Amino acid sequence: MNLEELEKRVTLMEDIQEIENLQRRYAYYFDLQRWQDIVDLFSDNAESVEIVDHGLFKGKEGVKKMYWDWIGQGGKSFRETWVQFIIMQIGGVVDVAPDGKTAWGRWQTWLCEAKPFGAYPRQEWLHGYYENKYVKENGKWLFSKLHWNNTFCSPFEDGWLNTPLMGLMNYHPTVKPDAPPSAFHPYPSGYHLPYHYKHPITGE
């Protein structure tokens, strides 16, 4: 092994670590409701973002629509103090492309939330899987695509078996997605979100 090969291997380890941190920072910003900071974690050439049944938002413009205009309510007011998004990022499987410029990551999330739903404040458990894409630009990793696929969104009082889905979240009076949700099939559909990776041993 020469120095160049060693440098490549060290870079790969650093890349994986940075991508894991990027994904986790995203969730902490979400918890802190720092929507502009989330938008700034995406590449200017971002492909898309898709969360639960909100639909598919394309490009960096779409990213702004999703986080700032829709979830962040246009930044016009801070949310009520009781609103809470605890998003635990678990089980990262990060694979960097051989050229070291793009990467894919699968994660799962377990969420503990409180937010207004209909006329009432509600507390709920959520679970879902991410399949995300990342891109390295000027030495820094950014999101190029984020897809969060929701397994359930259930009121704390009921649980996922009784109420798998608290309700639809696919309507906003002014913010419209570029395409409908691509894979919104909550429990108990049995839907499997495809893996970006091949089986590590059989290669299938």
Partner 1 sequence: MATLEELQARITRLEDIKQIEKLQRIYGYYLDYNEYQKVVDLFSDTADSVEIADYGVYKGKKGVERFYLELLGGKPPRVGELSIGMIMQGVVDLDHNGKMAKGRWYCMMIEAKPTLSRHEGELKQLWGNGIYENEYVKENGKWLFKKVFFFLNFRTPYEAGWLKVPVVGQHGPSTQVPPDAPPTFYYPYPSGIHLQPHYKHPITGK
User: Is residue 6 involved in binding partner 1 (CB under 8 A)?
Assistant: yes
The torsion angles phi and psi of 29, rounded to 5 degrees, stand at -65, -40
Please calculate the CA angle 32-57-24 and round it to the nearest 5 degrees.
35
Q: How far is CA 178 from CA 58, 61, 62, 129, 191, in A?
A: 6, 11, 8, 22, 23
Q: Report the SS3 class of residue 185.
A: coil
Using CB under 8 A as the binding rule, the residues of this chain from 52 to 71 that contact partner 1 are none
Find the DSSP H helices in 46-184: 59-64
User: Is residue 195 involved in binding partner 1 (CB under 8 A)?
Assistant: yes
82 or 197: whose CB is closer to partner 1? 197
33 or 123: whose CB is closer to partner 1? 123
User: Is residue 155 involved in binding partner 1 (CB under 8 A)?
Assistant: no
User: Is residue 119 involved in binding partner 1 (CB under 8 A)?
Assistant: no
Residues in contact with partner 1 by the rule CB under 8 A: 1-3, 6, 9-10, 12-13, 16, 90-94, 106, 108, 110, 127, 129, 151, 159-162, 187-188, 190, 192, 195, 197, 199-202
